[in-house]
Amino acid sequence: MTQGSTLRGTAPSAEFDALIIGAGFSGLYQLFCLRDRLGLTARVLEAGDGVGGTWYWNRYPGARCDSESHSYCYTFSKELLEEWEWSERYPEQPEIMRYLNHVTDRFDLRRDIRFGTRVTTARFDEAANRWTVETEAGERYSATYLITAVGCLSSTNIPKIQGLDDFKGEWYHTGLWPHDGVDFTGKRVGQIGTGSTGIQAVPVIAETAKHLTVFQRTANYSIPAHNAPLKPEFKRYVKENHPAIRALMHSTANGHPFAIEDRSAHDLTPEQREAVYEAAWAKGGLQFRASFRDLLVDKAANDTAADFLKRKIREIVKDPQTAAKLSDIDHPFATKRPPIDSNYFDTYNRPNVSLVDVRAAPIERVTPTGIVTRDGATYDLDVIVFATGFDAMTGPLLSIDIAGRDGRSLKDVWSAGPRTYLGLQVAGFPNLFTVTGPGSPSVLCNMPVAIEQHVEWITDCIAHLRAGGVKRIEASADAADRWVDEVNAAANATLLPLANHSWYLGANVPGKPRVFMPYAGGMARYRGICNDVAAKGYEGFVLSR
Ligand code: NAP
């Protein structure tokens, strides 16, 4: 085991009750709760120059949320719900940024956020029961509680492709997109990756690029978003019904404002099932997945949806070879996070768009002028777009050098994959809370719902500690072991592990341990478990005075 390195700085640390890393959805709400509800001194440290977290960095063409706007927001403030009005069914990145900036200013959060401040190390001092963190600039901060609000999808995954450094054109990762945009006009663009991000970017890039070559490794399902401006009657419905919408989101497995239908795909005749899928396709969005209760647990049920969606691709895409590559999908529907799109498949009917199958012939190298694949084919390019995803869930945490009790580093403790209790704490790391950490529903849920639940649970926990004079809380190793078993069991009860190349399993990052990271037992169930743990005096945690 490596001991955590010592802190570099000698400067005295600024002292707070709580330090929060990250000013996205999680960090902003955590600051509000600790400062304005509990009266604690708290400071948010944020690497970016503004709030927004993942939305601050992901400014790629077509960036838009896949959760419907009326559900992709905070629900803790009635006034906020009443005054904010979304303009479209799925909010675009700039609108989400406007929303988060509005929240920041409305609750006067900015004064307690330090921007342009990347945390590099965090150390727990056992004698003082305090965390000290150091930033890239060598500043030091210390606090009783350290809360990571670093997001699940914020460490970019840029494949190490030989020759990239010599590429004479421009290249970008979608998760670190230039703030002033990229002009594709008249350019030959190559895009690697066809996940949720790539599927959103393709139609927009194709509009201005001279030619767009899409490098596809794994073909993907996608459901039309049917994005549109929200109608006045829907806006009125949302304003008048937000308590009911919130209650619905809290009752469902995925935190979306729609329930999964309580019927099996096998209950219907093929014609009836087809009609259900046609209606879901016409409605669009992630709700397609909720058409039957057994789509994620019964392979034969799932096949009915998969067959329907593959047929749709072949109907839309005119060139039979391209259609065959796009519909040659090797995993059950929704076992990878299902993208939703605006004209993705249709874009392949444009004369300036072509598809390359890099499963058949992987990318061999980047040359100064383009990409070469293993079959010897060359693609001349002016711009390469990496829509290659993230080192999800553990990446953002492990990019900080965190050491807990006895100087044990988180990297060592997680060398075989993440181990947490409820995704909230790691044994050996007292007073450290991980908002939407691995082992929580997080990415399998509509994120703001998962975030509000975690932030509120952490806030209540800290209030409990302070009321009882408890100096230290730490997940017990036994409780964490049992929870890891529970997370594995929950995943294995579904078809999710069948997508053996999914980022849920860490399989997209070479060398990353293959462990199913999010809790797949459903958000509503998880909320109940967390409430129960708290009601039993924080069962599974060791509290010391
Ligand atoms: P992703 O789902 O991990 O997709 C990355 C893509 O890049 C995949 O097609 C992957 O192929 C490909 N790829 C990676 N390395 C490659 C390599 N060396 N050679 C060729 N292809 C390679 O990442 P993402 O699309 O950014 O999405 C990540 C998650 O972010 C989503 O699942 C979703 O949860 C979230 N997201 C949400 C929204 C939204 O709400 N609007 C939008 C975008 C993203 P393989 O499949 O073969 O690995």
Q: Where are the domains of the chain?
A: 13-155+392-544, 156-220+339-389
Does the CB atom of residue 18 touch ligand 1 within 6 A?
no
With CA atoms as reference, report the closest residue to 64 among 233, 288, 225: 225
> For residue 97, which amino acid is it?
M
Nearest CA to ligand 1 atom 4: 195
The token duo for 221 is 């399902």
pLDDT digits (tens, 9 = 90+) for 60-93: 999 999 999 999 999 999 999 999 999 999 999 9
% of the chain exceeding 90 in pLDDT? 97
Residue 7 has pLDDT above 70, yes or no: no
Taking the C-alpha atoms of residue 45 and residue 112, their distance in angstroms, rounded to an integer, is 9
In short, whether 254's Cβ falls inside 6 Å of ligand 1 is no
Best mutation site among 93, 95, 153 for ligand 1 pocket (most ligand atoms within 8 Å of CB): 153
Report pTM.
Answer: 0.96
Hey, which residues does 224 pair with through a beta bridge?
A: 341
The number of the ligand 1 atom at minimal distance from the alpha carbon of 217 is: 47
Q: How far is the CA of 325 from the centre of ligand 1 (A)?
A: 18
pLDDT of residue 11: 62
Choosing from 177, 196, 199 the residue with most ligand 1 atoms within 8 A of its CB, the one to mutate for a pocket test is 196
Report the pLDDT value the prediction gives residue 1, as an integer from 0 to 100.
32
Asked whether 424 and 434 are in contact (CB, 8 A), the reply is yes
Strand partners, 192: 215, 386
Hey, whose CA ends up nearest to atom 33 of ligand 1? Answer: 196
Q: Cite the beta strand spans of 397-463 per DSSP E.
A: 401-403, 432-434
pLDDT at 89: 98
* Cα separation, 307 vs 509, whole angstroms: 29
Condensed to tens digits (0 to 9), the pLDDT of residues 383-437 reads 999 999 999 999 999 999 999 999 999 999 999 999 999 999 999 999 999 999 9
In angstroms, what is the span from residue 66 Cα to ligand 1's centroid? 14
Residues in the chain: 545
Residue 387 near ligand 1, beta carbon < 6 Å: yes
pLDDT of residue 3: 36
Does the pLDDT at position 32 exceed 90?
yes
Amino acid at 423: G
pLDDT digits (tens, 9 = 90+) for 529-543: 999 999 999 999 999
- Ligand 1 atom closest to the CA of 337, numbered from 1: 32
Query: Are the C-beta atoms of 538 and 468 separated by less than 8 Å?
Result: no
Q: pLDDT class for 12, splitting at 50, 70, 90?
A: low
Residue 13 has a pLDDT of 83
Average pLDDT over residues 273-296: 97
- Share the mean pLDDT of the chain: 96
Q: Determine whether the shortest distance from the Cβ of 193 to ligand 1 is under 6 A.
A: yes
Q: From the CB of residue 207, how many other CB atoms can be counted at a distance below 10 Å? A: 15
Query: What's the mean pLDDT in 459-487?
Result: 98
Instruction: Tell which atom from ligand 1 comes closest to the C-alpha of 67.
Output: 40
pLDDT reading at 2 higher than 50: no
Distance of CA 87 to the CA centre of its chain: 23
Q: Identify the burial level of 179 via C-beta atoms within 10 angstroms of its C-beta, where 0-12 means exposed, 13-18 middle and 19 or more buried.
A: exposed
Structure-token match 């950490």, residue found: 437
User: In the predicted model, is pLDDT for residue 211 greater than 80?
Assistant: yes
Distance from the alpha carbon of residue 208 to the mean position of ligand 1, in angstroms = 23
Helix (H) or strand (E) holding 301: helix 299-316
Q: What is the pLDDT of residue 147?
A: 98
Kindly provide the residue ranges of all beta strands, DSSP E only, lying in 168-301, ordered along the sequence. 170-173, 188-192, 211-216, 223-224
**Which H or E run includes 276?**
helix 270-283
- CATH topology match: 13-155+392-544 vs 156-220+339-389: yes
Nearest to 31 by CA among 100, 102, 151, 113: 113
User: What is the tens place of the pLDDT at every residue in 127-165?
Assistant: 999 999 999 999 999 999 999 999 999 999 999 999 999
CB-ligand 1 contact for 65 (6 Å cutoff): yes
Is residue 6 very low, low, confident or very high in pLDDT (cuts 50, 70, 90)? very low
Read off the pLDDT of residues 433-443 as tens digits, 9 standing for 90 and up. Answer: 999 999 999 99
Distance CA 452, CA 242 (A): 15
- Alpha carbons 237 and 422: distance in angstroms, whole number: 35
* Nearest Cα to Cα of residue 328 among 283, 360, 304: 360
Our mutation pick for probing the ligand 1 site, out of 217, 222, 364, 501, counting the most ligand atoms within 8 A of Cβ, is 217
The partner residues of 124 in beta bridges, in order of sequence, read: 131
CA distance between the termini of the chain:
29
Q: How many CB atoms lie within 10 A of CB 283?
A: 14
> Residue with the nearest Cα to atom 23 of ligand 1?
389
Q: Is the CB of 447 under 6 A from ligand 1?
A: no
Among the listed residues 92, 110, 100, the one whose alpha carbon sits nearest the alpha carbon of residue 24: 100
38 and 466 Cβ atoms separated by less than 8 Å? yes
CATH T-level assignment (fold) for domain 156-220+339-389:
FAD/NAD(P)-binding domain (3.50.50)
User: Is the domain defined by 13-155+392-544 classed in CATH 3.50.50.60?
Assistant: yes
Q: Compute, in angstroms, the gap from residue 367 CA to the centroid of ligand 1.
A: 24
Whether residue 217 has its Cβ less than 6 Å from ligand 1: yes
Q: Which of 3-7, 118-122, 240-244, 314-318 has the lowest mean pLDDT?
A: 3-7
* Residue 142 pLDDT: 97
> Which tokens in the block code for residue 154?
């914020």
